Structure 1
Amino acid sequence: MSVGVAGASDQDRLAQDFVQFSVDSGVLRFGEFKTKAGRMSPYFFNSGLFDDGVKLGRLAEFYARRLLGSGIEFDMIFGPAYKGIPLGAAVAVELARLGRNVPFAYNRKEAKDHGEGGSLVGAPLQGRVLIVDDVMSAGTAARESIALIKAAGAVPHAVALALDRQEKATENGVDVNHSAVQYVRNQLGLQVCAIARLEDLLQYLATHDSGGLGAHHERVLAYRQRYGVDEGAE
């Protein structure tokens, strides 16, 4: 929780709670990590480490609370293979528990040629579809999901993420002045809802010195200053 942050809204507190949960779960770690873009990042978010029932259930609660507070309207959930599959399923279960029951579907990486066949599993894709994933690095997975959803005759409407890194995307190995989230929002026309953003992580580090976390603030801030996107482009 955002202890000591005067006037923090419920959504701000939700983000701070989520960062704390991610740190406690070992999902959010600090050190030196090489990103897909070849950058050396001072932090790493590995959602695969939400790896038991309690953690996955708590994660789904964060997604559901953020979604319900966002005002985003959607008719069903789509979980892109692979990480989006358990995430989407867990979020669908939590939303149902909170009284918002919606259909859920996911895709296979390779289409089956037996049984029900095809690459899509679950409820038929229809209406306004919410894509649930963990983070968005280049927007490639989102574009693939959008193509699948459109091909099925449904409307790709929004994306829910655990963490928005708020950093420049790369195209052909070159930094561009927008993030993957900004690209999906501004160029592809989808709403984007993230439980927390890099600025929430920085706020958390600035107000938590226990366990040596405060020492990471300057390194994460320097990374943000070097690779962060212009928020005016949002």
Structure 2
Amino acid sequence: MVISKAPDSLAQDFVQFAVDAGVLRFGEFKTKAGRMSPYFFNAGLFDDGARMQRLAEFYAQALLHSGIEFDMIFGPAYKGIPLAATVAVELARQGRNLPFAYNRKEAKDHGEGGTLVGAPLKGRVLIVDDVMSAGTAVRESIAMIQAAGATPYAVAIALDRQEMATENGRDVPHSAVQYVRDQLGLQVCAIAKLADLLQYLESNGTDAMRAHHLRVLDYRQRYGVNA
């Protein structure tokens, strides 16, 4: 199996891809935490077949580079559902065929019933989502996976914002990713981080991107975490 990109190069290519797709935008955006962010990442705008295929390739390459071992994939509703399916397809294309499952928000009371769809949850489970703001989706996924008798083992996300999480409306000195990794004990694989975005903006060379770089850098200095 040949992996074509080193992690740093992969991250830069992903940032460029997200900008080109209009998924990563610059301006002024209010976050769930109530902060005014100079950038916004909306994975829901990877909204056609070609973009989803390319996105799945980025996830697969990042996971293969990470060395994280897992037995199946789980996609939390809703954005995690197409991610789990397409990442499973891409990993199979690269020679690693794994089962996948996802949940529905409302329990089905006919047919097979329940909230889980797809392969039975078992072994070491990788949770695939777009970003982590508060870790809520991960905690809910962990509960479902454990209830099924499987082991929540790792999380894969597209972008690590590397910023402080909030608890009860207050900033805390760790990010959602750090909480999931250090407190919940799951490995985390991110295709790119805020540091990669800053590197992309700094090296782009245009006046507009340099201006965005200054605003994003100021935001990170105010809300950022070290890792």
Q: TM-score, normalised by structure 2?
A: 0.97
Looking at structure 2, the residues matched to 214 and 85 of structure 1 have their Cα atoms a distance apart, in angstroms, of 36
What corresponds to 2:128 in structure 1? 132
Residue identity over aligned pairs, in percent, reads 80
Equivalent in the alignment of 1:217: 213
Match of 2:75 among 59, 76, 79: 79
- Quote the Cα distance in structure 2 between the aligned partners of 1:173 and 1:44: 21
Q: What residue ranges of structure 1 are gaps of 5+ in the alignment?
A: 1-8
Amino acid at match of 2:84: G
Alignment correspondent of 2:36: 40
1:103: Cα distance to partner? 0.1
What SS does structure 1 have at the residue aligned with 2:91? helix
Instruction: Please state whether the residue corresponding to 1:148 is helix, strand or coil.
Output: helix
Q: Deviations over 1:202-232 (max 9, x none)?
A: 000000024722210000000000000133x
- Letter of the structure 1 residue corresponding to residue 15 of structure 2: V
- SS of the equivalent of 1:167 reads coil
| Selected match of 2:180 from 184, 195, 199 | 184
Q: 1:159-210 CA deviation, whole Å, 9 max, x = no partner?
A: 0000000000000000000000000000000000000000000000000024
Partner of 1:164: 160
1:114 is matched with: 110
Q: Which structure 2 residue ranges, 5 or more long, are not aligned?
A: none
Q: Is 1:29 aligned to residue 20 of structure 2?
A: no
**Equivalent of residue 205 in structure 1, options 165, 190, 201:** 201
Offset from partner CA, 1:141-162 (integer Å, 9 cap, x none): 0000000000000000000000
TM-superposed deviation, 1:121: 0.1
Letter in 1 for 2:176: A
Q: Distance in 1 between matches of 2:181 and 2:49?
A: 32
Name the amino acid aligned to 1:101. N
C-alpha distance 107-175 of structure 1, shift in aligned 2 (>3 A) = same
Matches of 1:159 and 1:77 in 2, distance apart? 10
Supply the distance in 1 between the matched residues of 2:15 and 2:209 (Cα, whole angstroms).
12
Distance in structure 1 (CA, Å) of the matches to 2:96 and 2:151: 20
* 8 A contact 1:132–1:160 mirrored in 2: yes
**SS class of match (2:156):** strand
Q: Are 1:126 and 1:152, in contact at CA under 8 Å, matched by a contact in 2?
A: yes
Matched, 1:173 2:152: no
The structure 1 segments of at least 4 consecutive aligned residues displaced by more than 4 Å after TM superposition are: none
Aligned residues: 223
Residue 89 of structure 1 aligns with an amino acid whose one-letter code is A
Cα RMSD after superposing both structures: 0.9
Counterpart AA for 2:131: V
1:60 aligns with 2:65: no
Q: Find 1:146's aligned residue among 128, 138, 142.
A: 142
Query: In 2, are the aligned partners of 1:177 and 1:230 still within 8 Å (CA)?
Result: no
